[in-house]
Amino acid sequence: MKVTFLGTGTSQGIPVIGSTHPVCLSHDERDKRLRVSVLIQWDDYAYVIDCGPDFRQQMLRAKCSKIDGILFTHEHSDHVAGLDDIRPFYFRQGDVDIYAHQRVIDSLTKRFDYIFEIENKYPGVPTLSVNVIENKPFYLHHLKVIPIEGMHHQLQVFGFRFDNFAYLTDMKSVEDTEIDKIKNIKVLVINALRMEPHVSHFNLEEALEFIEKVNPEVAYITHISHVLGFHEAVEKQLPNGVFLAYDSLQIHI
């Protein structure tokens, strides 16, 4: 399995528009972060988790010409706003599979009503094959996917486990029963927004505590804001086996 980090930034990305914060002015490419998303590939299959406003740019940068589907963690704009840009995949492949909680599907139906229209659909609009998921395992072809439920302040969100890889973002709290699903995994990806506490995201301290509970072989931090600090400086402070993810990073599991 190959995982490509399409984006590792928070909702505004880095650099933030108009910001003169030192991290936003950094020349280190690892400090330039598009909105958070990953591409997961195995055998001849390719799935994306989340489809934010940078989706087109991410697909071009990754030279991705085929996706078999999109899994959504939740319905916030930085995770769904790029849905219309699946059109090239639809034109080549036909209906695109999406997987999400029913609440997320309802939100997408309102936001992208023209995509979900059945009658008198505008020419060129993509068509989706909708798959509602609950907090129970499902299969993508032969691969078992295990949802991991958490809370993003007061909003339920899903993370996902694919074999020995788990991807969780926008988490603020996760019950022990959910943590048990990913304990001792090989590779964990988890969000850490900044050093200071935040109402709806792990800060770095909370993320490191979560990593210690899960005890993965390797952990990567994502959904990073500019106020966390420079990539190079922050990574030097992390425990062994914990790294900051960065855009276009590829890992093999």
Residue 137 pLDDT greater than 90, yes or no: yes
What confidence tier does 119 reach under pLDDT thresholds 50, 70, 90?
confident
The C-alpha angle with vertex 50 and arms to 48 and 51, in degrees rounded to 5, equals 90
Assign a CATH topology to domain 2-252.
Metallo-beta-lactamase; Chain A (3.60.15)
Stretch 46-72: mean pLDDT = 97
Q: Which residues on adjacent β-strands are paired with residue 70?
A: 48, 98
> Parallel, antiparallel, or unpaired: how do β-strands 187-191 and 218-222 relate?
parallel
What SS3 state is found at 8? coil
| The pLDDT value given to residue 125 | 92
pLDDT at res. 90: 95
Note the pLDDT of residue 120.
Answer: 82
Domain boundaries, the chain: 2-252
pLDDT in tens, 82-107: 999 999 999 999 999 999 999 999 99
Nearest Cα to Cα of residue 108 among 90, 88, 131, 124: 131
Mean pLDDT of the chain: 97
